[in-house]
Structure 1
């Protein structure tokens, strides 16, 4: 028997079941560590490094959403930040934990759905997301914004790296209505500057730009086809 919808959360869970990749999908995705996926690297995002070097991000408490194998969390911890890094895949959390242990880096890795996190209001100076948001369906955007607002201290920063429209890695340009007609995110939605500005209008915009393409053997990851943005909680 299916779920009886009597509350808003019931509706969100039903829609999740139609559109979100299940946990085992991400476990399978991360199980093959030799797969040629750019963000399987140990290098941090070039924009994240810029935020730290430009002193936009000062040492404090960080929540990373969709941390993957831990590259950004490990970088931030190495720079003196206290990091809670969350991902739904136990495979990638295990991988990230192994990486941090190898480098003797202390990160609190958490295997959980980000919408089930129990966060005390104003716990974090920074919320960072590299590659999670573009896999979130439109009906969860408000939940996502509420999560960020609850997590951040007043004046705290939220930064995101996501697919730009029609990039070689993803970035579907279908409308929100078409997401539900097709019951698919087409591998991840694409966001341009205007969409990011509209979605995160409750925050003060600091910077929105294309990710800079960084050629090997540089120590940061920069890929054409991604948007980056950083906002501040008003």
Structure 2
């Protein structure tokens, strides 16, 4: 997946999704103790969500394809004295990271993939998520007016994250994604998804 078009989004000021603070949905998840162990931020952009989680004392790795965004994220971490790691990576080839994570957050990445691409992305996430780990997906919803680009349905999420793909959807709740172009955010789903644990044979 080439990062060039995404990188261009950061060249002339903030991208529409770069609000300069963590998404409120993930702040709430963090406040409720939803992040634990090692954390992966999938499609981290300029790092606000990753930096918020890292400020809680958790080891965090954020990846993106946009090198400009990653440079901004690293500068933020340095300026704020927060320890977090940011690397360039292909969302379809996460096994190349050579690491596994207990918690994963996806803010606005899942909904950029079409139906044919989603199985590969879901499999890639599974390859780096510990069994019993948790994935949080915040994506544009097709429910309500003033939807964001590439909105998805509850059924889309349920169809992508199936037991057969190594996942179990725990909950899908309505939420909002804050953007630079929506006064009160755009309709969103916040999905909580568990990585299925291996069953031990007797």
TM-score, normalized by length of structure 1? 0.72
After TM superposition, what 4+ stretches of structure 1 lie above 3 angstroms from structure 2? Answer: 166-169
Seen in structure 2, the aligned counterparts of structure 1 residues 34 and 190 have a Cα distance that, compared at 3 Å, is closer
Where do residues 172-191 of structure 1 align in structure 2 (5 Å cutoff)? 189-191=150-152
Query: Aligned-residue CA RMSD in angstroms?
Result: 2.2
8 Å CA contact 1:119–1:150 kept in 2: the answer is no
SS of the residue aligned with 1:115? coil
Q: Describe the shift of the 1:107–1:213 C-alpha distance in structure 2 as closer, same or farther (beyond 3 A).
A: closer
Q: Which residue of 2 aligns with 1:210?
A: 174
- Rounded to whole Å, the distance in 2 between the matches of 1:197 and 1:107 is 31
Tell me what 2:159 maps to. Answer: 198
Rg: which structure is higher?
1
Contact preservation (8 Å) 1:65, 1:86: yes
Q: Aligned partners of 1:168 and 1:160: how far apart in 2?
A: 20
3-state SS of 1:114 partner: coil
1:114-193 matches, within 5 Å, as 114-117=91-94, 118-120=96-98, 123-165=100-142, 168=146, 170-171=148-149, 189-193=150-154
Aligned residue in 2 for 1:48: 26
Q: Secondary structure at the match of 1:33?
A: coil
How many positions carry a matched residue from both structures? Answer: 186
Q: Which digits, 9 at most, give the CA deviation of each residue in 1:164-189, with x for residues without a partner?
A: 12763534xxxxxxxxxxxxxxxxx2
- Gap change, CA 1:89 and 1:46, over 3 Å in 2: same
**As a proportion of its length, which structure holds more helix?**
1
Deviation track 1:58-109 (CA, whole Å, cap 9, x = no partner) reads 2x11111110110001001001111110000111111111111110111110
The TM-score with structure 2 as length reference comes to 0.82
Q: Which runs of 5+ in 1 are unaligned?
A: 1-15, 17-21, 172-188, 215-221
- Alignment match, 2:12: 32
Aligned partner (choices 220, 226, 229) of residue 188 of structure 2 = 226
